[in-house]
Homo-oligomer: A and B are copies of this chain.
Amino acid sequence: MKLIDNIADMKSYSDRIRAEGNKISFVPTMGALHTGHLKLIKNANNISDICVVSIFINPAQFGPTEDFNKYPRDLDKDKGLLKEIGVDAIFFPKLEDMYGDHFQTYVEVEELQKPLCGKLRPGHFKGVATIVLKLFNIVKPHYAVFGEKDYQQLQVIKKMVCDLNLDVDIISHPIVREQSGLAMSSRNDYLDSGQREKACSISQALFNIKQQFDTGITDRNNLLDSAYSILNKANIDEIEYLEIVDGKNLIEKKLAGPGDLVAIAARLDGTRLIDNIRL
């Protein structure tokens, strides 16, 4: 397994792989790898000759009051996990190399970045789109795999790839859940066992909406009402949003239809959790 910590080496590694006619798959991560990441990375590893994983905690996607400084970091553990899977290369660039002197070029996917998380995290998707574009230009993958838990991120990146004429196939990977239903996330590390139990009600609320929809209920308010009572019963009172939106353009729907997305963001004693389900 190659350990690559600088941009020029990563570019020449990828140039060589491509010149040999091999296909590169790529999974960008912020480290703190959990089973969700690992399943997704195994998938990426299976579909290509060479699999590259990046580990970079991207300050541009954190707001000034967010958890950039306390975001979990354990590079050695991550390296061990990736070696076990049989990843070909890890790219872990330095902050000052990715955002050098007078860095000032940003990409925005102007409509898709606005709703849902975009409302509460201004600048977040600008930071995401910019770092992903930079990483694509450095790692030069044929395929890149993103998890569906960050559904809005996935749509933002797909649209960026299309609009900017990039030659990368974006592959999405289903949400990986714990037995309890809780969507796996590096931020689950912040939760103690009591909070973890409470957090399950987030996925339960989504499953409840899907169940109701499958019985024929389509009115947004009807669908959301009982979900809210599940969340209230679990004392999750800081719900940033719980919304039914079009699965492609993320515009809010009053009447739900097949393919629509139910998306939620909630805070649990300061820890921000997101989840979603397709109808």
- Chain B positions within 8 Å of A111 at CB level: 102, 104
In the assembly, what is the distance between CA of A163 and CA of B7, in Å? 12
Q: Could you say which of A36-44, A74-82, A131-139 contacts chain B?
A: A131-139
Interface of A is mostly: mixed
A107, B110: Cβ atoms closer than 8 Å? no
User: Is there a chain B Cβ closer than 8 Å to A109's Cβ?
Assistant: yes
B160 touches A137 (CB 8 A): no
Nearest-neighbour CB distance to chain B for A129, whole angstroms, equals 8
Query: Is A167 an interface residue, CB under 8 A from the partner?
Result: yes
Interface size class of A (residues with CB under 8 A): 20 to 34
Chain B residues closer than 8 Å to A109, beta-carbon distance: 104-105
Give the shortest distance, in Å, between A251 (CB) and chain B (any CB). Answer: 11
Q: Name the interface residues of A149-188: CB closer than 8 Å to any CB of B.
A: 159-160, 162-167
**A221 close to chain B: CB less than 8 A:** no
> Are A105 and B163 touching (Cβ within 8 A)?
yes
Question: Which A positions have Cβ atoms within 8 angstroms of B?
Answer: 7, 11, 100, 102-112, 129, 133-134, 137-138, 159-160, 162-167, 249
> Could you jot down 15 A-B contacts, CB within 8 Å?
A11-B167, A100-B162, A100-B163, A103-B163, A104-B111, A104-B159, A104-B163, A105-B107, A106-B107, A106-B108, A107-B107, A137-B165, A137-B166, A137-B167, A138-B165
- Taking A108-B108, A137-B167 as known contacts, 20 extra A-B pairs with beta carbons closer than 8 A to each other, sorted by chain A number, are A7-B165, A11-B165, A11-B167, A102-B159, A103-B163, A104-B111, A104-B112, A104-B159, A104-B163, A105-B109, A105-B110, A105-B159, A105-B163, A106-B108, A107-B107, A133-B164, A134-B163, A134-B164, A134-B165, A137-B166
